[in-house]
């Protein structure tokens, strides 16, 4: 396009505007070509969009037709090498599948009793802890008359009847040794309780018991002071003696001589437990083990010695009821044991069996079974390991493993196949919706005044475009020849095609009855496969091809050398031809504009010369007029 510009310098005309207006008129055919090119571009885009949707439809159709989708092993569970066993009562029965030979199906399992070990507990007891006693020498109140305990200290005599010279306020020192510790305490004879006669011997006994403490008691026995300590050797006395002085400080020689260190332990304390060394013998199916028990061993000590015996096959403890409890380490009938002793210990303990050793007892599909273990039971169901967790009557369902607990292989296959059907139907409906939308656009304007009018409804009258949907609807509503009358229509497997010819509300779209399709897939997968993908006997599209197979073949015809391919090729060629015309016209218009620019430039030049000549002539005339004047 030329950029030359003449400003109307000589003529006074707006030559630039004049040229622009002339070119606008000259360019109208080019504008129409550009509009036509945009119209064909819109048509090409519509065909291209339809082609994309048809490609998606064919992809979904082929996925549904894929033989893998209809693999019999997927729908029936046969042929799979991975299985899962599901218990209806998993808290009492569990199982795992270990191989491909597992028997698929539902099995009844009755767990009657679990395998268990023996438990025996003692019912008797060991000897209890006992107190120790310590006696002093005898006390006398006269010639060989031993005291009884109600006499006063002042009345004490030697065994020959000589007074011990004890008076009121005499002080007595007691020394005693318990658990290796020696202690002393003093008692003062006074008149508080008994006047001038001093305290009684019973008062001394009370003071001794209270002073030693820890539950000790004291009493007069056969003239001697006998102190009994609390049970157990930790409390018993190993020494008890008295010394005294009169109120004036004089030593009570006779008293000291008799009662200082002349007493002795009369009964030794006992801490409880085994009172005589013995040997416990525990015998089970593997042999016999001896456990040496020592004097003084309590139940905890015996349990410790049992647990410390290597290979004995049992364990022991003192339970919450204070019984010695012996348990077999394993379970099963072979784990029973007995407890005996060389001496009387076993009888003293009095073992009784609180739980018998027994094998597990259970039924599988009515057949009785037994096992020495509760878990890891094999050999009952092929390639299945059972774990018995408690008594129950339940079922065990063995199915191919879907990877989702509670979902069977058939469930997974039905869901996956329904998804493929839904994908196909969605793609089919998308094609019909798109064609309907394009062909229902406002029709083209008869005498378009602008580009919007010209481009209105590019596909509205395109019969080839609308016939794509018509062909698909016709196939979807057809029957499959050669199939039973009750199994040759989409509607008979849950895909509703009653509007396959089209209507204003549905545009021929398909709908799915999920429950009906689900039931058809479960009851007869082959029936569904035949309606959708039956392979006809002839070549090309035949009436005995399945509906989805025919639709896939129809799409192939449309897209490869068919209507869609031809339309796209034609539109592309038409757009190119128009562009070539536009290019040629653009060249012609450029030349035409250059012509106008040269023409008006020449006009301005000529007018400029004429104007100059006129000005010269006017000057000459004026000069001549001046000379004559």
Beta bridge partners of 111: 362, 392
- In angstroms, the CA 393 to CA 395 distance is 7
Q: Could you tell me which of 539, 613, 568 has the C-alpha nearest to residue 48?
A: 568
Helix, strand, coil tally for the chain in percent (to 5): 40, 25, 35
pLDDT value, residue 539: 67
Q: Do 133-267 and 119-126+273-355 have the same topology in CATH?
A: yes
Return the axis-axis angle of helices 525-533 and 547-559, rounded to nearest 10°: 30
- In angstroms, the CA 57 to CA 338 distance is 80
Neighbouring residues of 393: CB distance < 8 A, sequence distance ≥ 6: 108, 109, 110, 111
Alpha helices (H) along 184-234: 201-212
- In angstroms, the CA 137 to CA 241 distance is 9
Please answer whether residues 364 and 109 qualify as being in contact, where contact means their C-beta atoms are separated by less than 8 angstroms.
yes
List, edge to edge, every strand of the sheet that includes 360-364. 83-87, 392-400, 105-113, 360-364, 367-371
Beta bridge partners of 218: 227
Please answer whether residues 457 and 439 qualify as being in contact, where contact means their C-beta atoms are separated by less than 8 angstroms.
no
C-alpha distances in angstroms, 94 versus 83, 89, 464? 14, 8, 65
- What are the 10-residue block averages of pLDDT along the chain, 629 residues in total? 50 72 76 77 84 91 88 52 86 92 92 96 84 86 80 84 85 89 89 60 90 90 88 85 89 84 78 85 94 90 94 93 93 95 91 96 97 96 96 92 72 89 94 86 63 66 84 89 86 76 61 92 90 76 83 87 84 83 81 78 74 76 72
Phi, psi of 371 (to 5 degrees): -155, 140
Please answer whether residues 541 and 551 qualify as being in contact, where contact means their C-beta atoms are separated by less than 8 angstroms.
no
Q: Could you tell me which of 83, 94, 84, 77 has the C-alpha nearest to residue 394?
A: 94
- In angstroms, the CA 421 to CA 529 distance is 11
- In angstroms, the CA 478 to CA 183 distance is 119
pLDDT value, residue 375: 95
Mapping DSSP onto H, E and C, the string for 468-524 reads HHHHHHHHHCCCCCCCCCCCCCHHHHCEECCCCCCCCCCCCCCEECHHHHHHHHHHC
For the chain, the residue count is 629
Centre a 10 Å sphere on the Cβ of residue 82 and count the other Cβ atoms it contains: 13
Centre a 10 Å sphere on the Cβ of residue 538 and count the other Cβ atoms it contains: 9
- In angstroms, the CA 479 to CA 493 distance is 12
CATH assignment of 133-267, among 1.20.1630, 3.30.390, 1.10.8, 2.60.40: 2.60.40
* For the chain, domain boundaries: 29-74+410-567, 81-115+359-400, 119-126+273-355, 133-267
Pair of tokens at residue 231: 């049970």
Beta bridge partners of 106: 397
Q: Could you tell me which of 381, 378, 328, 385 has the C-alpha nearest to residue 358?
A: 328
- Just give the CATH number of 119-126+273-355: 2.60.40.4390
Q: What pTM did the predictor assign?
A: 0.47
- ∠ CA 479-480-484, nearest 5°, is 100
């Amino acid at each position: 396009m030329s950029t030359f510009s003449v400003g109307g310098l000589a003529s006074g005309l707006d030559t630039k505007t004049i040229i622009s207006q002339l070119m606008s008129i000259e360019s109208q055919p080019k504008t129409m070509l550009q509009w036509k090119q945009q119209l064909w571009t819109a048509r090409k885009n519509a065909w291209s969009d339809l082609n994309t949707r048809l490609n998606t439809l064919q992809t979904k159709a082929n996925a549904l037709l894929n033989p893998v989708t209809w693999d019999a092993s997927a729908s029936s569970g046969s042929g799979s090498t991975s299985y899962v066993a599901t218990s209806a009562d998993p808290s009492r029965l569990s199982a795992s599948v270990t191989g491909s030979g597992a028997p698929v199906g539902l099995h009844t399992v009755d767990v009657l009793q679990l395998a268990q070990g023996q438990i025996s507990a003692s019912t008797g007891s060991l000897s209890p802890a006992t107190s120790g006693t310590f006696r002093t020498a005898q006390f006398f109140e006269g010639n060989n008359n031993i005291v009884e305990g109600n006499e006063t200290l002042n009345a004490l005599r030697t065994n020959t009847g000589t007074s011990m010279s004890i008076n009121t306020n005499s002080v007595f020192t007691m020394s005693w040794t318990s658990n290796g510790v020696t202690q002393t305490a003093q008692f003062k004879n006074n008149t508080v309780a008994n006047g001038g006669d001093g305290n009684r011997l019973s008062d001394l006994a009370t003071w001794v018991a209270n002073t030693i403490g820890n539950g000790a008691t004291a009493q007069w026995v056969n003239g001697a002071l006998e102190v009994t300590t609390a049970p157990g050797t930790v409390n018993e006395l190993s020494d008890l003696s008295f010394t005294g002085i009169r109120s004036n400080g004089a030593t009570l020689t006779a008293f000291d001589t008799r009662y200082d260190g002349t007493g002795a332990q009369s009964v030794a304390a006992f801490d409880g437990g085994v009172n005589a060394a013995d040997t416990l013998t525990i015998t089970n199916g593997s042999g016999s083990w001896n456990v040496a028990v020592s004097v003084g061993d309590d139940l905890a000590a015996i349990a410790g010695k049992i647990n410390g015996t290597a290979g004995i096959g049992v364990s022991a403890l003192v339970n919450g009821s204070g019984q010695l409890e012996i348990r077999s380490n394993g379970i099963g009938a072979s784990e029973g044991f007995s407890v005996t002793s060389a001496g009387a210990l076993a009888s003293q303990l009095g073992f009784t069996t609180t739980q018998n050793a027994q094998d597990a007892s259970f039924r599988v599909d009515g057949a009785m079974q037994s096992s020495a273990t509760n878990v890891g039971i094999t050999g009952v169901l092929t390639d299945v390991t059972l774990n018995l967790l408690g008594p129950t009557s339940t079922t065990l369902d063995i199915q191919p493993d879907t990877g989702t607990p509670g979902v069977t292989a058939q469930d997974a296959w039905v869901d996956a196949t329904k998804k493929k059907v839904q994908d196909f139907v969605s793609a089919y409906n998308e094609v019909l919706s798109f064609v309907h939308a394009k062909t229902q656009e406002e029709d083209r304007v008869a005498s378009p005044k602008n580009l919007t009018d010209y481009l209105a409804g590019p596909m509205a009258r395109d019969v080839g475009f609308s016939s794509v949907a018509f062909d698909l609807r016709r196939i979807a509503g057809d029957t499959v020849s050669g199939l039973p009358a009750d199994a040759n229509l989409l509607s008979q497997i849950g895909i509703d095609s009653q509007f396959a010819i089209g209507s204003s509300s549905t545009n021929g779209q398909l709908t799915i009855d999920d429950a009906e399709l689900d039931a058809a897939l479960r009851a007869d997968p082959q029936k569904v496969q035949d309606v959708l993908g039956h392979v006809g006997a002839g070549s090309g599209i035949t009436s005995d091809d399945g509906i989805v197979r025919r639709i896939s073949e129809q799409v192939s015809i449309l897209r490869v050398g068919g209507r869609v391919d031809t339309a796209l090729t034609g539109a592309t060629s038409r757009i190119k031809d128009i562009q070539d015309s536009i290019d040629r016209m653009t060249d012609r218009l450029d030349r035409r504009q250059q012509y106008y620019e040269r023409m008006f430039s020449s006009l301005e030049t000529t007018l400029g010369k004429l104007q100059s000549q006129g000005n010269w002539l006017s000057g000459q005339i004026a000069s001549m007029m001046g000379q004559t004047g």
